[in-house]
Homo-oligomer: A and B are copies of this chain.
Amino acid sequence: MSTQLTAKGAATRARIVETAADLILARGVGGTSLDDIRAGTATSKSQLFHYFPGGKNDLVAAIAAFQAERVLAAQQPFLDTLDSWEAWAGWRDSVVAHYGSQPHWGCPIGAMTSELINTDPTHAAAVTAYMDRWRGYLRDGLERMRDAGLLRADADPERLAISVFASLHGGLLLTQTTASIAPLEAALDGALAMLHAAAA
């Protein structure tokens, strides 16, 4: 990335990432060609390679980072303060609201993960890092709750966080297959019930 970017160039690059992210979310990495992206962004082939010298790989990496930031940002206010039962309920509602308002069902990161994990270890590692960070917020909140006496002393925040995280992503997978937000709600409610079962 030795080339300089003018304001115009940066805007074009950002436009490419955003639009391509939606295209890939809708049709998958393998199902989206550079020509699709070129058409969708009103750019030319040379621009794609100008801004992403590494070609599709570069672009996919940028999109993965963009998607991950977007997903985490939407929950950020809640993720930072998961130290009370009310906060968890609020997080649950914000997750449902966020994924219910998306033009597509399912989780952008989860979908890319399962598609790339078997074909592109480099990208998969990057995406996995985002998922770990995400799950870390849940664990940290549970840890604080345990230390505050809201959870039983023998509760395992890491393990509980994994379980909640699995419910979340499983629920998101089911929203895809059913084209409905209901499974996500059921999954998250189940996860919260599970947490309450570990209350002090």
Contact = CB atoms under 8 A, between A and B. Distances in A.
Contacts of A127: 177
Interface in A17-65: 26-28, 30-31
A114 B173 contact: yes
Tell me the dominant secondary structure on chain A's binding face: helix
Interface centre among A111, A118, A124 (most CB of B within 10 A): A118
Given A111-B114, A119-B28, A174 B169 contact: yes
B119 A160 contact: no
Interface of A: 26-28, 30-31, 104, 106, 110-111, 113-115, 117-119, 124, 127-128, 131, 159-160, 162-171, 173-174, 176-178, 182-184, 186-187, 189-191, 193-194, 196-198
